[in-house]
Structure 1
Amino acid sequence: MAKHVKTQERVDISQVTIPPASEVNAEFMKVGDNIQKRHIEAFKRLADR
């Protein structure tokens, strides 16, 4: 079983980059489309039983 270990490491927030909202939204849309396709295929398989 994995054990969570706390560390004292600090993150320099000035080095964090945030992609534009359009890129983030596009990635979420891709993920959503893939999930929807998998669900449609699964329901078709169930209907064919």
Structure 2
Amino acid sequence: MKTRDPDYDADADYEYECLKCGETVSASSHPGECDDCGSAMRNRRMPCE
């Protein structure tokens, strides 16, 4: 089984999701912490493994 990395475009907006409350935002760079609860955000295109 082959694995592949997700495509990356530095100028594109990506969706990020809060690991605690589930809030989502679109941004061109990592937003850091969630504005609602202060927890870490993750890029939704990356696997949760």
TM-based fold match above 0.5 = no
Q: Which has the higher contact order (CA 8 A, sep 6+)?
A: 2
Specify the structure having the higher radius of gyration (Cα). 1
* TM-score, normalised via structure 1 length: 0.23
TM-score by length of 2: 0.23
More strand by share: 2
